[in-house]
A and B are shown apart, each in its own frame.
Chain A
Amino acid sequence: MENHTIDFPGAQEFARPRSRRDFFKSLAVAGAGATAASMLMSKEASAQTSDVDIANFALTLEYLEAEFYAMAVDSGVLSGDALGVVKNLADHEAQHVTALKDLLESVGATPVEKPAFTFPEDALSSQSSILELAATLEPVGVGAYLGAAPLISSPDILAAAGSIAGVEGEHVVAVNWLLGVVPYANEAFPKALTLDEVSAAVAPFMGGQMMSTGGPALPPREAYRLGPL
């Protein structure tokens, strides 16, 4: 049998100060709106990408997907298997938006507003153009969650990220199926993306703007390189 190995990055690359982790735990326990919000604004907190920033980053991605799929369902160009799959995509992403907003509010944080998205002119012109864009967006969603997961402190937020990431992976497979890609599931180790890679992939839909987390600046690219590559 062929040998397969995972090339793990160094552990210290992802090590986070103990005080940061304790901070978020106390934040989650406190869950008090005003107090938590002001703590988030503190200099100490802004030195690191927090769980809240990661959740807001994910929320922006989910807004983008939800809006695109809602428009795709309304476009009238989908039928048959594709319509069924895309209806579920729209439904799932809308549920992810709601879930992430609820999660952010439950720890006293403010969910970012939905940005104004723009899509290529012909994005909704045919079934194949919709599916091609879906095939572009879904692996970005997977990669974003896989890249973020090891940076998350809260078990609750990690559980949510894992759950949603898995569903985005299923979306990849369903879209592959519609596009005639065989085998439909074809990655032994789906890839993590860096925050920069995710942001760059999404920028064309945000008028060239990079994504906002509503919080401190994004960490350097290297700090986000995670997982089997």
Chain B
Amino acid sequence: MSEVESRVPIGLDRETSRRNFLKTAAWTGAAFSAMGIGGFGVAIRRAEAQGEYKTYEGLGDAAILQFAYQLELLEGTFYAEGVEAGLFEDAFLEQIVAIRDHEMAHADAIATTLGELGAEVPATPQFTFPNGTFTDPTAFLELAATFEPVGIGAYQGAAPALESKDILAAAISIHNAECQHRCAINILNLVNPPNDLAFEEALPIEDVQAAVKPFGITG
């Protein structure tokens, strides 16, 4: 595909031309499923075996929020650049704009909470994205489909470790928004049906850190 062609915005009328991408998206989903769990009964056993809760538990609420803040900035920056690159139009654009706004609202809310806790708000990391991310809509959506499960897994893994019930209430709401994003990105990736999981999946913090390190989050 030429550079010019690849920059044509994706809208509803282009859905059928992107069927091939499904294979990639399906593979990505399978990778995360294999990494994750097949139901919370399994999750609990896995958590007990690996001490999953304890890894988040050792951090404390402020450190968990500082990490979550950087995750939200990564996502927000990613979607903002996707919007600015003109990759999308129609319903696709409306959805990407909404997700961008949600991630930025999450980051702002977390920063406010860190302030209330008297904890430092981390500096914005220098994010890097793979070549072609903002020139090829399919590459962009492929990356989106990998980001969302990481955010979900991080919040879900961290939730039982949070001391403050107020922060838990906020975190579980943000977790839900991330799950909604995952399903919306499925729709844009033509995954049908888009509601494809019976149980969402927690990730151990090591997996989350490994997943975001290539993009510039090292803390």
A interface, CB within 8 angstroms of B: 1, 3-6, 8-9, 11, 14-15, 81, 84-85, 87-89, 91-92, 95-96, 99, 102-103, 142, 145-146, 149-151, 155-156, 158-160, 162-167, 169-174, 177, 182-192, 226-228
Contacts and interface: CB of A to CB of B under 8 A. Distances in A.
B200 A163 contact: yes
Interface of B: 39-41, 43-44, 47, 53, 91, 94-95, 97-99, 101-102, 104-106, 108-109, 112-113, 152, 155-156, 159-160, 164-170, 172-184, 187, 192-202
Contacts of B156: 159, 162-163, 166
A226 B199 CA distance: 23
Contacts of A3: 108
Consensus secondary structure, chain B interface = helix
Nearest to B44: A156
Nearest to B53: A155
Contacts of A186: 98
B95 A166 contact: no
Given A169-B179, A185-B99, 11 more contacts: A1-B104, A85-B195, A92-B195, A103-B41, A150-B166, A160-B44, A163-B156, A164-B200, A167-B199, A174-B187, A189-B170
Given A159-B43, A159-B47, A159-B159, A170 B197 contact: yes
Contacts of A183: 91, 94-95, 97-99, 184
Contacts of B41: 99, 102-103
Contact of A95 (B47, B99, B112, B198): B198
Nearest to A182: B91
A191 B160 CA distance: 20
Contact of A89 (B166, B174, B176, B195): B195
A227 B172 CA distance: 8
Given A158-B160, A184-B95, A189 B105 contact: yes
A167 B194 contact: no
B193 A189 contact: no
A95 B53 CA distance: 24
B164 A11 contact: yes
A5 B108 contact: yes
Given A150-B165, A173-B194, A163 B202 contact: yes
List 5 A-B pairs, minimum CB-CB distance, nearest first.
A166-B179, A166-B200, A155-B160, A185-B184, A170-B183
Contacts of B167: 8
A182 B95 contact: yes
Contacts of A162: 155-156, 159, 172, 175, 200, 202
